[in-house]
Amino acid sequence: MVWLVVGLGNPGDEYAATRHNIGQMVVDHLAARHSAGWSAHKSRTEVAAFKIGVGIDAASIIVAKSRSYMNESGGPISALAAFYKVEPSQIIVIHDELD
């Protein structure tokens, strides 16, 4: 099974430590924790991948962050999900939420 874990945020140093980038901070931590390197993807995202579990029960995890602003991230993330053939039910989006 493949899971897509998306961390939303905004590009640029001026946003690096703001609450809007908590999603990107989380996926950065996940990638580092699993020694997964980041690479650019044609969908205007950055991706890293790793597996959790063992044998046939292992799950492939793709962590991603958009290189666009968070309110423009739908297109790149949709393209990435289509590329990896990930169903919407297997996408986890991490973002700030104050509502």
Q: Which residues are designated catalytic?
A: 20
Distance between the two ends of the chain, CA-based, in angstroms?
Answer: 32
β-pair partners for 47 = 39, 64
Distance between CA 68 and CA 9 in Å, rounded? 8
Distances in Å between the alpha carbon of 20 and those of 29, 37, 56, 68?
A: 16, 23, 37, 13
C-beta of residue 19 within 8 angstroms of C-beta of residue 96:
yes
